Amino acid sequence: MKTLYPFLKSRTPNGGSGHCLALLLVPALALVLSLPVKALADDEFEDLAEEAAEESAEEAAEEAAEEAAEESAEEAAEEAAEEAAEESAEEAAEESAEESAEESSEDAMEEVSGEMENPDMRASQRDLADRVFEDFGERDLVVQQELLIMAEPEQVDLLLTQSELTLISRRPLNQLPGTLARFRVGDAYSPEQVRQRLQGQLPGASIDLNHGYRISEASGEWPSEPATGALAGGVYQLPETSAGKRLRIGMIDTDIDINHLVFSDSQITRRDFLSENRDRDREHGTGVASLLVGQTPGFRGVATGHHLFAASVFAHYRDRGLVATSHDLVAAMDWLISQQVAAINISLAGPANQVVAAAISRLADAGVLMVAAVGNEGPFAAPRYPAAYDRVVGVTAVDRDGRLYSRAGRGAHVDYAGPGVAVEVAEAGSGSAYTPASGTSYATPLITGLLLAYGGQEDVSSGDPDALNRLIERDLVDLGQPGRDPLYGKGLPGRNWIADTLSLSEAP
């Protein structure tokens, strides 16, 4: 608050002004007494003195109150500033502690969009990226020094105390049993030996290495007479999907370019399951998805009208190309079963894995149809998984004349053949263009769609588990040797839906 006499106040001790006012009153009284006009009476003088004293007291009280208010305001401001500084320091300390705790928690727990690596493994993220995979056998890949475990949460907790293991990530599973966890095995230990020991310690748990899987595709050329995209796979003329029979179809592949014209009227739900922050690919997944649910006036998929749930599991790795891991494959399966899909299309191939096998067994128990490519590693390659599992339909590829794709895998795990040579598919990033593609992975979605189409037939009874198989077997084109064989399996489904203009060489 401002004072009326700052210059006087500055001269008085302790900021007071009472003495100065009294000094001013003395000459004033003397001047009054010396006036010649009229002598003042004693009582008048006393009254004047009393009035002056009262005025002096009032002014002194006012200034004292003003000074007290100013001092109180200054003290209050100082206290407020100190309190604000203390609160700011406390908040900064709390925020720092919270951030530190959050970072520590994030290092150990998996986020929805991916996983954070353990701090002990962050010495050189670039080095880790270069050495994430190592060769496993002649053809396969495995994540270096890593174990994958699907077990009850209490069993996973027991492993946290073992010195040779470091937790990388863990995620609760929704439909599959227990928890899915990744552990780093110390460099001084053999992951396979540790796996064998843990298998004995954790009954009922599924434990294996974290294997790598590759896309089941290869380059292809247009045939002499290009197939029209208006036919599914250039071969099939299927009936329109009725509104009452629309299904949910799962797909495990790369990401999809949903901006391509072929998906303009398609219903697609996508989710990413990559456990590392790497470049995603859209080319392969776009082509496979177009064969399932894509549709334009000049192009038709085999399962148009159905809702596609697409799980992205592939990423680019230096010197390895496109690779998916067992961990991401199982995580994708868990999501797809929670979405109540009727079938899952899997256009990838790799080694057998106990955790993946356990997940597939659970999906098969739930009635989910799983269709997988047998792979493109040649006629002498060992069976590839998951196509080689008993409860998965294995698909090979043939051209439009029924000839086997030269690089397709062979064996007892081949169940059906499908068009997969120079098949027209949507080209990612082009907006509206198409491109020829070859491989067992492109035959697989056509067989997936055909099997679902058979399941929608009126003569398939839900109470007869063999009715569907009988219907399919009556509608097969038997290729190769009569009956089932290791090249074509049971043959090419969909005889009644094959366009009349196409010629397929059937076994005599």
Q: Which one is catalytic: 208, 347, 441, 478?
A: 441
Pick the catalytic residue from 140, 206, 257, 284.
284
Cα(364)–Cα(461) distance, integer angstroms: 19
Cis peptide before 119 (omega within 30 of 0): no
Q: What is the DSSP string of 32-71?
A: HHT-SS-PPPHHHHHHHHHHHHHHHHHHHHHHHHHHHHHH
SS (H, E, C) 179-200: EEEEEEECCCCCHHHHHHHHHH
Residue 261 tokens read as 């014209």
Among the options 253, 255, 257, 478, which is catalytic? 253
CA separation for the pair 429, 260 (Å, rounded): 7
The residues, any chain, with a CB within 8 Å of residue 124's CB and separated by 6 or more, are: none
Beta bridge partners, 136, equal 140
Rounded distance, CA 267 to CA 204, Å?
Answer: 39
76's CB contacts (< 8 A; 6+ apart) are none
Smallest Cα–Cα separation from 329: which of 307, 308, 316, 344? 344
Closest CA to 425 of 250, 240, 214, 253: 253
Q: Which of 116, 115, 149, 146 is nearest to 131 (CA)?
A: 146
Among this protein's residues, is 284 annotated catalytic?
yes
Taking the C-alpha atoms of residue 117 and residue 114, their distance in angstroms, rounded to an integer, is 10
CA–CA gap between residue 375 and residue 395 (Å, rounded): 9
Q: What is the DSSP letter of 274?
A: -
Q: How far, in Å, CA of 345 to CA of 372, rounded?
A: 6
Q: Calculate helix-pair angle for 18-33, 42-108, nearest 10 degrees.
A: 160
Q: Look at phi and psi of residue 192 and say left if phi exceeds 0, alpha if psi is from -120 to 50, else beta.
A: alpha
Active site residue 253: yes
Question: For residue 130, what are its two tokens?
Answer: 């270069």
What are the catalytic residues? 253, 284, 441
